[in-house]
Structure 1
Amino acid sequence: MATDRDAVLEAAVGVLSRRPTAHLDEIARAAGISRATLHRLFPGRDALIHEIGLLSLQRFATALDTAAVEQGDAQAALRRLVDAAVPDAMLCAFLAGENQLYESNEVNDLWDVQIERLHALFLRGQREGTFRIELSAAWLSEAFFDLVAGIGWAIQDGRLAPRDAAFSLAELFLGGALRRPDAPVGAPPTHSTSDRKPETDTP
């Protein structure tokens, strides 16, 4: 269960994703607390954004754990990850849109660990003949994460019903990522894991 601190961070995401320049007073109201209480929890705007980034990465790490992405068939593992990640898609959207986060070594280090796990899933799937080998595992990792972020924005803006989110994400992504039946099976391209940090701007 989310702590009170986590609930405040999630409320802050809801405000900042719509109004990136929102005042702390507005964030406090959305969280149902006073400005003074918000300041006691997070001494300033930079600290608040940093903590949202850490929470977002922790939730994505939990999704990877819940999906057991290192185990079993790669396509099945990806579908489990979709189900596990979609409930926190808005946090992924914040990670994709808030470039200020990546001024932090702590955030960068956590991001690198999680994206490497995702990269390994796609690389394994390519070796199994599940995913297309002409698309690098690094690119598949970035594309998947950006789609999760897009789901978060679409839900928030009312363009996608939450109940349809996991199906929409899985079908759209796998429609382009799965190896075609007539495509040759071979070793995936030798691309290193991308160190690109998410740079998507909020629509």
Structure 2
Amino acid sequence: MTMDRERVLRDAAELLSRNANATQDEIARAAGISRATLHRHFAGRDALVRALEELAIRQLEEALDRARTDEGPAREALRRLVAESEPIAAFMAFLFTENQLFENGATNAGWERVDARIHALFQRGQEAGEFRIDLTPAWLTEAFHSLVAGGAWAVQAGKTAARDYPYMVSELLLGGVTRQDRPQDRPREPSKETRT
């Protein structure tokens, strides 16, 4: 019997999204295979996590494609991206906490591709005057990842309804990133009494 690698990875991702400390035995059971079969294809947790990382990158790139981040107003593109990321948010939260992904400062080139696309969305919004320019696109990209992971954790912990995830993540992110031109948001001029 041949193993469907993609299905095993998706089953492992689903389990680890709910239980980051699941054992190899539990992962194998969730995938409907023996531990020996799992080990033959993924020699230990590190190898499995590396394969899951590749799956996550592919899924996030697909979410970016579906979100059409280079089309229309950047605010709407960001909302689409948050909505498209929802199905893999818990999986992303799991990977976000896996220390071995960043051993010795080595980062998978796939993350760099993903980050470059999200960075470009924030930069486009800044250039169009939609987003604040005092926060770098690199920082906003990290904020995006953190809010996606945080939203997933809140849903898993029962602190937030799953149906509220897209709205809450989008609105918090947009509330911080949107350029405000209201008088109360501009730096104040010194009062006449303090002018020299």
Tell me which interval the TM-score lies in, with the shorter structure as reference length: 0.7 to 0.9
Q: Which residue of 1 aligns with 2:155?
A: 155
Larger-Rg structure: 2
Normalised to the residue count of structure 2, the TM-score between the two structures is 0.82
Alpha-carbon distance in 1 for matches of 2:15, 2:9? 10
Q: Which residue of 1 aligns with 2:108?
A: 108
Q: Which residue of 1 aligns with 2:65?
A: 65
Q: Secondary structure at the match of 1:88?
A: helix
Structure 2 unaligned segments of length 5 or more: list them.
Answer: 187-196
Structure 1 contact 53–107 (Cα < 8 Å) conserved: no
Structure 2 contact 28–34 (Cα < 8 Å) conserved: yes
The worse-fitting range, judged by mean Cα deviation, of 42-51 and 106-115 is 106-115
Q: Which residue of 1 aligns with 2:130?
A: 130
Q: Which residue of 1 aligns with 2:95?
A: 95
Cα distance change on mapping 1:158 and 1:147 into 2, 3 Å: same
Q: Which residue of 1 aligns with 2:31?
A: 31
Letter in 2 for 1:25: D
Q: Which residue of 2 aligns with 1:82?
A: 82
- Pairwise CA distance, 1:17: 4.8
Q: Secondary structure at the match of 1:179?
A: coil
Aligned Cα root-mean-square deviation (Å):
2.3
Q: How many residues align?
A: 182
Alpha-carbon distance in 1 for matches of 2:107, 2:135? 27
Structure 1 contact 54–107 (Cα < 8 Å) conserved: no
1:141 has 2:141 as partner? yes
Alpha-carbon distance in 2 for matches of 1:46, 1:166? 31
- Pairwise CA distance, 1:157: 2.1
Cα distance change on mapping 1:113 and 1:106 into 2, 3 Å: farther
Alpha-carbon distance in 2 for matches of 1:84, 1:71? 15
Alpha-carbon distance in 1 for matches of 2:165, 2:99? 25
Cα distance change on mapping 1:68 and 1:104 into 2, 3 Å: farther
Matches within 5 A, 1:12-31: 12-17=12-17, 19-31=19-31
Alpha-carbon distance in 1 for matches of 2:38, 2:62? 26
- 1:88-137: per-residue Cα shift (whole Å, max 9, x none)? 10121123111211349995211111101111110110111111111111
Alpha-carbon distance in 2 for matches of 1:79, 1:22? 33
Structure 1 contact 90–149 (Cα < 8 Å) conserved: yes
Alpha-carbon distance in 2 for matches of 1:121, 1:80? 12
Greater relative contact order structure (CA < 8 Å, 6+ sep): 1
Normalised to the residue count of structure 1, the TM-score between the two structures is 0.80
- Pairwise CA distance, 1:63: 0.7
Structure 1 unaligned segments of length 5 or more: list them.
Answer: 185-203
